[in-house]
Amino acid sequence: MTTFKVILEYDGSRYHGWQEQKNARSVMGELRKAAEEAFGAKVEMQGSGRTDAGVHALAQVAHLKVATDARQSAEVLARRLNDLLPADIVVTSIERVARNFHARHDATNRVYIYQISTRKQAFRKRYVWWIKDELNLETMRRAAALLAGRHDFICFRAADAARPDESTIVVVEKAEIEVRDDIILIRIEASHFLWRMVRRVVGVLVKVGTGEIREPDFRKLLDGRCDPKLDVAAWTAPAAGLFLEQVRYGK
């Protein structure tokens, strides 16, 4: 058995998320087809985490386990996989690793970024959320700072049939907001993320920025005290602006 660690970037616009599905096109499904053709054998694979339909990745990590002794160099394998993959999925790195390496279980933290545009975009509209309203960045930054620490994100998760018993407790290492010209960049690093958690956090932060909800309301949601008057699900940010930026391993 040979195990490979693969790092990929992809534009999720045309895919129904990372995870393989019977009746929908997925990033993992495309990677499996390419890998099994490249190796000429069945491949066991797993990603570091699931990205939703329409969500992108700058550095998704996956492991590939092949029963045969794959002798090709990493450079040749990367070139072969990229020749077989669609243009919007790219292997940026591949390396042989320990047989027991697991892309999801061995990951310690994930980092997501969300891009908000303060103006209409002609070329980047598939990768941003255009907010026409004026946003109070200082208020948003104060709210984002509250995310750091251990919180119950039950108010921010979507019901996940695949993981009905998943704990809603998440440890957020940090959450930052920076501005790059006409882009507001929200970066959140955590041990893991619940389904649609980041998009809902971003949606609520935008409501804080427009003044539609106050900081005490945000604190209440972070305490796991969901309020029917705060329609978090309806405020879910579009998938287009979300990117898996990095997956960390080790301390």
CATH of the domain at 119: 3.30.70.660
CA angle 176, 148, 195 (to 5 degrees): 85
Burial of 196 (0-12, 13-18, 19+ CB in 10 A): buried
Do the beta carbons of residue 117 and residue 130 sit within 8 Å? Answer: yes
Same domain? For 47 and 145 the reply is: no
Where among 49, 74, 97 does a domain terminate?
A: 97
Same domain? For 233 and 125 the reply is: yes
Residue 166: the pLDDT is 79
Same domain? For 173 and 60 the reply is: no
Name the phi and psi angles at 36, rounded to 5.
-70, -30
**Domain range for 34:** 2-97
Q: Is residue 86 part of a domain?
A: yes
- Known catalytic membership, residue 52: yes
pTM above 0.85, yes or no: yes
Q: What is the mean pLDDT of each run of 10 residues along the chain (251 residues)?
A: 95 95 94 94 94 96 87 87 97 94 96 97 94 96 96 88 76 96 97 94 97 94 91 95 96 60
Residue 162: the pLDDT is 60
Same domain? For 131 and 227 the reply is: yes
Same domain? For 58 and 173 the reply is: no
The DSSP line for 117-172 is ESS--SSSGGG-EE--S---HHHHHHHHHTTSEEEE-GGGPPP-TT-TT---EEEE
Same domain? For 160 and 208 the reply is: yes
Catalytic residue among 11, 52, 83, 181: 52
Tokens (6 digits) for 195: 């389904």
How many domains does the chain divide into?
2
Same domain? For 78 and 195 the reply is: no
CATH of the domain at 19: 3.30.70.580
